[in-house]
Each structure stands twice: as structure tokens, then as C-alpha cells.
Amino acid sequence: MRDKFPIMKTYEPKQKPDPDNLEFGTVFTDHMFLMDYDEAAGWYDGRIVPYSPLRLDPAAAVLHYSQEIFEGLKTYKAPDGGLRLFRPDMNAKRMNRSAARVCMPAIDEGLFVDAIKTLVSLEADWVPDKPGTSLYIRPFMIATEPFLGVRPSKQYIFSIILCPVGPYYKGGIAPTKIFVEDEYVRSVVGGTGTAKVGGNYAASLKSQVKAHSLGFSQVLWLDGVERRYVEEIGTSNAFFVIGGEVFTAPLGGSILPGITRDTAITLLKDWGITVREERFTIDEVYKAFDDGKLSEVFATGTATVISPVGHMRWKDKEIVINGAEIGELSQRLYDGITDIQTGAAADKFGWTVGI
């Protein structure tokens, strides 16, 4: 049975944005989900209220010691008008793994998915239906106990907000330019790189700004110890097609386990393509390029689904991959995944969930 949440509706519905000019993460819907936690009471008072600023004590723990985690997923409108979620149970599980890593309380997986379904149903009018558009869902949890001192908070808020988003690439998928970061690192084994915790992203800004100033759109992260092994691209997982086989870093304790990563690996294997989840170095990638074996590089993530890489610079070596055109496998994966998400193709793995 679905969890039931009281709904307080807004008296001032907002004007919906122009469906042809949707950006990513700038416009939010009329309502949000909120739920409180207290060490003694556990989670209580799950509810839907008008979208509004949160009231926080200036001493709230999140503002000082960054106890914050989040998730990201999307709702798609199917050709028949029905709304679908894509693998939301994976987000629920990952949220709880992130929570455990930074000593935050778990949320019942069924409640997590029910809260999303209830909120999205209420905001169904906000789900855009042009090709490539969707309603992005952002669940997050913050520590709210007012105290200064480093220990886990005893109070938290869990919230879900929604934003209608356009196709990540206006005018079709354009391959990106990637800067291989060999100065700053994102993650080390034993750190928080496998969790979606806010602090990771604050720590990554410096190299993102550096890459932008050099004319690149994203960073390729190397391992934090030797700075040789390829790990991720920005906030996406990284894939390399070398000699007809697909290589991606293994989930060895410093990689974020992307749901799109898992989806891509499953589809590739289903298509009979060899996927190697193995450690490999940036030198090996450049060697493969020199040998004419590197045919495609792409990143996977909920926001972009598949993002092909056209240029890559490591130290002073800049290479152009596949003539800076989207590769065959990248395109096939993009179409394969988005067709399942929107209901245009059969969902043989049972990944989509109707609302």
C-alpha cells in the first residue's frame, strides 16, 4: 500500500515556463515534499507543502559541517501521456548508502518512492512532453540540529523538489571538450567519493572553474593516489571504447555508482558487447589513441544520459576523438536508454515504474 501524505496546496500557482526554452535546474514547481527526523521520534510528519524557502537556525549543523546528501532522477511522459520513473529503487538504495557514510538516518525505500510518486502526481501538469524534456527530481537530506561541534546531528529534514528540464543539448548531442585533471583530485578509496554528499561537489569546483577558464566543459578525474587511473568525468561515469571493447573504471571505493552507468553496462552486455570494469591508466588511453584503437569516449549520468567526448587534453596533449562526432555506440546507447525511459521501446529489464 502507498504511504499517504497530507497535501497543503498553494494558493498562488506559478506560471509554467516556455516548454521550448527549458534550462536545467532553474525553475521549480509549485510544491515540495518535507519530512522531519528527530533522534527520539525517528522520521515523522511526511507532507507536501507549497514550494517555499526553508527556515533554518543559523547554527544548523549542515551550514557548518556539511552533513548533506542528495539524489537525482527524472520523470518522463510516455507517448500515452502516462508518467514514468526510471529505476527509482536504485536511488532509494543509494540515498541510504550515502546516508550511512555520513552518519545520517536511513529512509524506508518504499516511503522514498511513494513520496516521489505523490509529489509528481500532484505536479503532473509540470511534466513537459517535448522530445528530450523531463521533470527532474531532487531528493535531499540536511542536518538541522542547532549546535556547533563535530558529531552527527540529532535532527534532519528530508525534502524533494522538482524542476522541468529541457534536453541537455539544445540542437542535438554535441560532443564535449574534456580537461584531464592532474593537479586536484575528487576522491580517494576510504573517502566519500562513492556517496552523493554535497561536500564532494564543493571540493570539485576549483578544477571545474580551471577547466572552464581553459575552454573545456568538464574535467576527467584521475585516481587520487597515483593520478594515473581514469575514474570519472565531472559528475558522470566515464566510458572508453578501445578496440571494440568498452572500458570503465570498477566500483573500487572511489567511484560514484551511477545508475546510468549500470544501465549502460547492462544494455551493452545484452547487445553482446564486451564491457571491462577494470582499472586502466590515462597513458593507456593515449596509447590506444596513438594506435588508432580509441574510437569513442562518453560519460553517463541522469542529467545528460550519454554525453560523448570530442576533445580531450592531458598535460599538453590534446586529442580529437572520432572526428569530434558522436560515435555509433554512444548514439545507440542514448537512443536505447531514452526510448526505454519514455516508454517508446519495450522495457525488458523492468526498469520503469508507472506513477
Nearest one of 317, 308, 315, 268 to 289, comparing CA atoms: 317
Binding mask 225-254 for ligand PLP (x = CB under 6 A): -------x--xxx-----------------
**Which one of 195, 249, 256, 329 is in contact with ligand PLP (CB under 6 A)?**
256
Closer to ligand PLP by CB, 60 or 256: give it. 256
**Which one of 134, 260, 322, 342 is in contact with ligand PLP (CB under 6 A)?**
260
Residue 261 within binding range of ligand PLP, rule CB under 6 A: yes
Question: Smallest distance from the beta carbon of 266 to ligand PLP, in angstroms?
Answer: 13
Residue 31 within binding range of ligand PLP, rule CB under 6 A: no
The stretch near ligand PLP (CB under 6 A) out of 258-266, 270-278, 279-287, 313-321 is 258-266
Closer to ligand PLP by CB, 60 or 141: give it. 141
**Site of grid cell 541510504:** 96
DSSP 7-59: B---SSPPPPPPTTS--SSS---SEEEEEEEETTTEEEEEEEEE--PPP--TT
3-state secondary structure of 199: helix
Residue 258 within binding range of ligand PLP, rule CB under 6 A: yes
The one-letter code for the residue type at 152 is P
Nearest one of 90, 81, 111, 91 to 354, comparing CA atoms: 81
CB-based contacts of 287: which residues, under 8 Å, 6+ apart?
none
Scan residues 65-124 and list those touching ligand PLP (CB under 6 A): 72
Closer to ligand PLP by CB, 37 or 239: give it. 239
C-beta contacts of 18-26 below 8 A and 24+ residues apart? 19/128, 19/129, 19/130, 19/133, 19/164, 20/130, 21/166, 22/128, 22/133, 22/164, 22/165, 22/166, 23/165, 23/166, 24/136, 24/163, 24/165, 24/166, 24/168, 24/303, 25/136, 25/163, 25/165, 26/163
Closer to ligand PLP by CB, 48 or 163: give it. 163
**Which one of 300, 307, 342, 352 is in contact with ligand PLP (CB under 6 A)?**
300
Question: Smallest distance from the beta carbon of 254 to ligand PLP, in angstroms?
Answer: 10
Question: Smallest distance from the beta carbon of 103 to ligand PLP, in angstroms?
Answer: 20
Q: How many residues bind ligand PLP (CB under 6 A)?
A: 14
Question: Smallest distance from the beta carbon of 201 to ligand PLP, in angstroms?
Answer: 7
**Site of grid cell 560515435:** 327
Closer to ligand PLP by CB, 19 or 253: give it. 253
Question: Smallest distance from the beta carbon of 36 to ligand PLP, in angstroms?
Answer: 26
Question: Smallest distance from the beta carbon of 91 to ligand PLP, in angstroms?
Answer: 7
**Which one of 259, 268, 288, 294 is in contact with ligand PLP (CB under 6 A)?**
259
Query: For the chain, what is the total number of helices (H) and then of strands (E)?
Result: 7, 17
The stretch near ligand PLP (CB under 6 A) out of 126-134, 176-184, 297-305, 336-344 is 297-305
Q: What is the C-alpha separation between 44 and 200, in angstroms, rounded?
A: 29
Question: Smallest distance from the beta carbon of 76 to ligand PLP, in angstroms?
Answer: 15
Scan residues 194-223 and list those touching ligand PLP (CB under 6 A): 196
- Taking the CA atoms of residue 296, residue 298, residue 304 and residue 306 in that order, the dihedral angle to the nearest 10 degrees is 60
Which run of H or E residues covers position 183? none
Q: Which residues bind ligand PLP (CB under 6 A)?
A: 72, 196, 232, 235-237, 256, 258-261, 300-302
